[in-house]
Amino acid sequence: MFQGCGAFGSYEAAAAAPPVEAMYLCTPHHLHQVHVTMAARAGKHILVEKPMARTLEEGQTIIAEAQRAGVTLMVAENYRFMAPVRQCKALVESGAVGDLRMVQLQEEALFRPAQWRTCRDLNGGGVFIDGGIHKVDILLYLVGKPERLYATPLPPGLPGLEAEDGVVVTTRSARGVVGLIHHAWTNARHPPAPWVAVSGTRGRIAFELGASWLTLATSSAERVWQFADDGDGLVPMVQEFRASIREEREPEMSGAAGLDDLAVVLKVYESMETGSAVMLPPSWPGSLSRLEERRGEGGVSCL
């Protein structure tokens, strides 16, 4: 059915198989570091699910393992590769909405967490590190890193979880652009589709995540884009992974980019725990990783 070329009884067997050139690691969050290490030391290129890790230390270790092995490391952040998200980025950069003012990202997902996802330690947190990190990546992709943020959890709605099942986050960039993320799991049937709205001084962009359309409304006109059935963006994401290996370059969604997303998520948790707004440090984790690569301290290359 899937036209696979083989089957293996364990991850270790797959990593040891000479015909296998790359591995897509879709395992629980607490296993990412050990599985990336296994794949890297076997000389396999790595596509690892988001979040790439539960802590910055784990993420930095993952990047270092890939660098030492000379293999490509990419984080499987598929939302960035959805056609409406790409078009939104192009419109923002073209000035179609003028100067940015606000980016809103909203999702209430009907979800029944698997057992490991109910455990704060195994998951790395609750709903925000699990699914909210998608919204963080879109925000960073469109606006850049925030300068400060404030986050508050929603009252608990699902039983049996050790961490949050809903959160609202507000951010502010150095240019004053406001971000608003609401991400939650819900028991309600048929929740509304997740959506994104980008407001500027000249217009507004709106689209649904997973849909195949986008609208741009200005004072003089409204335009609608229709895309081929893009769905979840997985196909272009994997195509980028393959292309980065063949072209011997860093993938767009590099380990450094994944570390940037994780840094924001962890600041969200800090804000929830302290009840206060938090500033993000000038030294950005992913930027530091990229600087080390440029200095030749074990930069990523392809075999």
pTM: 0.92
One digit per residue, the tens of pLDDT, for the chain of length 303 reads 556 778 899 999 999 999 999 999 999 999 999 999 999 999 999 999 999 999 999 999 999 999 999 999 999 999 999 999 999 999 999 999 999 999 999 999 988 777 899 999 999 999 999 999 999 999 999 999 999 999 999 999 988 899 999 999 999 999 999 999 999 999 888 899 999 999 999 999 999 999 999 999 999 999 999 998 777 999 999 999 999 999 999 999 999 999 999 999 999 999 999 999 999 988 777 765 554 444 344 332 222
CATH code given to domain 79-226: 3.30.360.10
Q: Tell me if 3 sits within 8 A of 9, measured CB to CB.
A: no
The amino acid at 140: L
Structure tokens at 137: 């990546």
The contacts of residue 126 (CB under 8 Å, 6+ apart) are 120, 161, 162, 163, 164, 165, 167
The contacts of residue 15 (CB under 8 Å, 6+ apart) are 23, 38, 39, 42, 44
Strands 45-49 and 22-25: parallel
